[in-house]
């Protein structure tokens, strides 16, 4: 029976409770190792304290919870927990209900062996309210939240996109990040760009290899106004390289609509865009997707060769 309990919640089940979050498996091996061993320890505690034969109690989920728990009166919440500690399953006598401690992350009450009044930021409060205050959490939650602190598991593209509109500083970070994402791709193809690519190592690689992926640490650094200036510095160094590098300049585009001689690049996300059909780069204001000149040429060429082969 006990082994069944273990397999029901494998360590790999550390996945979000709602959309918008994904966990990169295998990226941070060390973190995962710590995670595994701690899960085992937590589970051992749960199993030892578990009351045999009770079906009314389930251990805390190993998931990232992204909802803020509405305030519920202690007595009502403990009844809902069937008078068990939410961490170890120890039955609580009604006269000791007052001693239970609330975990803001799980929205449940815990005995003092499972809750040492540790404090943590709560992911849902950051994502929904940009609230970085620390709240009391159970030891299990504290361990879980500490272990994911640096992991980029919050994808603002698939959920909580409105956070950009709510938080100007985060919107700024997103704009710079988008440019860095494109310019890094270009720099990686340049054999003279080693030193400028070193600059990118000042920030975690997920911030420039992907867009919209953040860790709680990234959010906090954004809130403190530390992230945007750092990203901006990297962007400045990258632009200086591209401006002065013949190899990189050779990979730019000429806008076929206006034929301006100024070379343009996909990383100029504010002023330029790529055609979804042919991937060529144009000024945003010049581009009309219905008649991309390059796509038109490609189609004409195809029709020509088809007419030659008689198909
Ligand atoms: Zn307990
Ligand atoms: Zn270059
Ligand atoms: Zn143009
Ligand atoms: Zn095109």
Q: pLDDT per residue over 80-128, tens digit each?
A: 999 999 999 999 999 999 999 999 999 999 999 999 999 999 999 999 9
Determine the average pLDDT of the residues in 139-148. 95
Distance (Å) from CA 267 to ligand 3 centroid = 15
Same domain, 198 and 78: no
| Torsion 239-244-245-251 (CA) sign | positive
Distance (Å) from CA 185 to ligand 4 centroid = 20
Distance (Å) from CA 305 to ligand 4 centroid = 19
Distance (Å) from CA 274 to ligand 3 centroid = 12
Interface ipTM:
0.82
- Residue that finishes a domain, picked among 129, 151, 173: 151
- Residue that finishes a domain, picked among 207, 230, 249: 249
Same domain, 195 and 120: no
Same domain, 39 and 121: yes
Same domain, 142 and 180: no
Confidence of residue 5 (pLDDT cuts 50, 70, 90): very low
What is the structure's pLDDT at 51? 45
For residue 158, being part of any structural domain is answered with no
Contact 222, 170 (CB under 8 A): yes
Ligand with an atom nearest the CA of residue 256: 3
Category of 298 on φ-ψ map: left (φ > 0), alpha (ψ -120 to 50) or beta = alpha
Q: What is the CATH number of the domain that holds 121?
A: 3.30.40.10
For residue 308, being part of any structural domain is answered with no
Q: Kindly report which listed range (131-140, 220-229, 270-279) carries the lowest average pLDDT score.
A: 270-279
Distance (Å) from CA 187 to ligand 3 centroid = 24
For residue 156, being part of any structural domain is answered with no
What is the structure's pLDDT at 1? 34
- What is the CA angle 270-271-275, rounded to 5? 105
Distance (Å) from CA 29 to ligand 1 centroid = 30
- Three-state SS annotation for 46-95: HHHHCCCCCCCCCCCCCCECCCCCCCCCHHHHHHHCCCECCCCCCECCHH
Same domain, 100 and 17: yes
Contact 199, 234 (CB under 8 A): yes
Confidence of residue 137 (pLDDT cuts 50, 70, 90): very high
For residue 288, being part of any structural domain is answered with yes
What is the structure's pLDDT at 21? 39
Distance (Å) from CA 253 to ligand 3 centroid = 10
Residue 3: pLDDT over 60:
no
Ligand with an atom nearest the CA of residue 263: 3
Query: What is the Cα gyration radius of the chain?
Result: 26
What is the structure's pLDDT at 180? 96
Same domain, 93 and 143: yes
- Residue that finishes a domain, picked among 230, 249, 268: 249
Please give the Cα distance from 303 to 309 (Å, whole number).
Answer: 10
Q: pLDDT per residue over 36-75, tens digit each?
A: 333 333 333 344 444 444 456 566 666 788 889 998 999 9
Return the structure tokens found at 41. Answer: 């320890």
For residue 311, being part of any structural domain is answered with no
Ligand with an atom nearest the CA of residue 262: 3
Same domain, 107 and 143: yes
Please give the Cα distance from 263 to 76 (Å, whole number).
Answer: 66
Same domain, 297 and 223: no
What is the structure's pLDDT at 215? 96
Distance (Å) from CA 311 to ligand 4 centroid = 24
Question: Distances from the Cα of 294 to the Cαs of 254, 255, 271, in angstroms?
Answer: 12, 10, 19
What total of structural domains would you count in the chain? 3
Same domain, 143 and 225: no
Sequence-distant (6+) residues with CB within 8 A of 47 are 2, 5, 6
Residue 18: pLDDT over 60:
no
| Ligand 1 is an ion; residues with CB less than 5 A from it | 85, 87-88, 111, 114
Same domain, 293 and 274: yes
Average pLDDT, the chain: 83
Q: Kindly report which listed range (11-25, 121-135, 295-309) carries the lowest average pLDDT score.
A: 11-25
For residue 104, being part of any structural domain is answered with yes
Determine the average pLDDT of the residues in 245-269. 92
Question: Distances from the Cα of 298 to the Cαs of 237, 277, 280, 288, in angstroms?
Answer: 36, 10, 12, 16
Same domain, 215 and 291: no
| Torsion 48-54-60-62 (CA) sign | positive
Q: What is the 8-class DSSP label of residue 289?
A: G
Q: pLDDT per residue over 156-201, tens digit each?
A: 988 888 999 999 999 999 999 999 999 999 999 999 999 999 999 9
Distance (Å) from CA 33 to ligand 1 centroid = 25
Name the residue range of residue 235's domain.
163-249
What is the structure's pLDDT at 62? 62
Same domain, 127 and 12: yes
């Amino acid at each position: 029976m006990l082994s069944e309990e273990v397999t029901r919640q494998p360590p790999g089940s550390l996945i979000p409770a709602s959309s918008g979050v994904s966990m990169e498996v295998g990226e941070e091996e060390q973190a995962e190792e710590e995670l595994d061993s701690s899960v085992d320890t937590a589970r051992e505690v749960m199993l030892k304290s578990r009351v045999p034969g009770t079906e009314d109690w389930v251990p805390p989920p190993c998931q990232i919870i992204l909802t803020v728990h509405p305030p519920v009166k202690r007595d009502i919440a403990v009844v809902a927990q069937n008078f068990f500690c939410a961490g170890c399953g120890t039955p609580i006598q009604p006269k000791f209900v007052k001693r239970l401690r609330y975990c803001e992350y799980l929205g449940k009450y815990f005995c003092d062996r499972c809750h040492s009044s540790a404090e943590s930021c709560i992911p849902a409060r950051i994502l929904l309210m940009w609230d970085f205050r620390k709240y009391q959490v159970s030891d299990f939650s504290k361990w879980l939240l500490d272990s994911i602190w640096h992991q980029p598991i919050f994808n603002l593209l698939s959920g909580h996109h409105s956070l950009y509109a709510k938080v100007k500083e985060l919107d700024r970070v997103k704009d710079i990040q988008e440019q860095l994402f494109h310019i890094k791709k270009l720099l990686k193809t340049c054999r003279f760009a080693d030193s400028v690519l070193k600059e990118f190592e000042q920030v975690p690689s997920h911030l420039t290899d992907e867009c919209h992926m953040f860790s709680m640490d990234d959010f906090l650094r954004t809130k403190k106004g530390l992230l945007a200036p750092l990203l901006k510095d990297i962007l400045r160094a990258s632009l200086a390289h591209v401006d002065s590098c013949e190899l990189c300049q050779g990979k730019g585009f000429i806008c076929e609509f206006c034929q301006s001689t100024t070379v343009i690049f996909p990383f100029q996300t504010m002023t330029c865009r790529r055609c979804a059909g042919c991937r060529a780069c144009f000024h945003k204001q010049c581009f009309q997707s219905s008649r991309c000149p390059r796509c038109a040429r490609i189609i004409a060429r195809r029709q020509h060769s088809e007419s030659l082969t008689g198909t």
